[in-house]
Amino acid sequence: MWVIKFRLNGENIFFGSLAKKFNITLVGYPVSRYEKNKQLFINLVGNIEGENADKFKIIKFLKKSKYFSKIEFNNNFFNILIKEEKKFLPFYNPYFIYLSPVKIDSYGNYFYHLGSWQKEELSKLLEIIEKRYKFKLFSFHEEKIKNISIIGVEPNLTDKQKQAYELAVKSGYYEYPKKIDIKKLATLSKISYSTFQQHLKYAEKKISEFFVRK
């Protein structure tokens, strides 16, 4: 299969501009698309990552937006049906497989990892991107894919467990030697040592069990 990885600057695209405005990261992918009354509809699922206050702000904004036909939120997970502009149709080519979710960072950059049996279809998309956006091509080659990353096929952590685990990772708790201990992590999270330790241990347990089962 032919596989392509690239980044494009999307700070002027709807979701890219929102990610930058609200300082959050969006991770998701399209699960279906259809056209009705000459309008393109895309069903997207994914997660919102960032500070709770920023996530609350963007969720509140999105619920008021006329850009969406349907919208659901369950904690950080979203399921939305958007009315998309036809110019973005090449990104939803039925020949493409999203090998991992699209990531939109807090600078408005989009990160794509796509696969296709048809090299020419990926080449067509690349030509369009070169004309429209500032972008960086990371790789474009033929390879045998090992897996596909899908949102939802992951450990089912609570918000507090996820926050504790993410803080531990970002702060160097799992590096060798450790850069921080649990007491300091609890202080950073502004909760008691015992409570933070409990959240982190449950998160570690769920993650380890998930990967052992897999």
Please write the tens of the pLDDT for every residue from 123-180.
999 999 999 999 999 999 999 988 787 765 567 788 889 889 999 999 999 999 999 9
pLDDT at residue 62, rounded to an integer: 85
- In the chain, which ranges are continuous DSSP H helix? 14-22, 52-64, 119-132, 159-170, 182-189, 193-213
Backbone angles phi and psi of 105, in degrees to 5: -85, 180
pLDDT at residue 65, rounded to an integer: 83
pLDDT at residue 101, rounded to an integer: 92
Query: pLDDT band for position 22 (50/70/90)?
Result: very high
% of the chain exceeding 70 in pLDDT: 96
Would the pLDDT of 207 be above 70? Answer: yes
Please write the tens of the pLDDT for every residue from 80-135.
999 888 889 999 999 999 999 999 999 999 999 999 999 999 999 999 999 999 99
Please state, rounded to an integer, the average pLDDT across all residues of the chain: 90
Q: What is the spatial distance between Cα 48 and Cα 18, in angstroms, rounded to a whole number?
A: 11
pLDDT at residue 154, rounded to an integer: 64
What average pLDDT does this structure show over 29-41? 89
Please write the tens of the pLDDT for every residue from 51-71.
888 888 988 888 888 888 889
Q: Facing residues of 83 across strands?
A: 41
Q: Can you give the pTM of this predicted structure?
A: 0.74
Using the Cα atoms of residue 120, residue 125, residue 127 and residue 128 in order, give the sign of their dihedral.
Answer: positive
H or E, element range at 168: helix 159-170
Residues listed for the chain: 214
The domain limits of the chain are 2-142, 159-213
In 3D space, the residue among 167, 169, 10 whose CA is nearest the CA of residue 102 turns out to be: 10
Contacts of 18 (CB under 8 A, 6+ apart): 24, 26, 58, 61, 62
pLDDT at residue 10, rounded to an integer: 93
Would the pLDDT of 214 be above 70? Answer: no
Would the pLDDT of 47 be above 80? Answer: yes
pLDDT at residue 213, rounded to an integer: 57
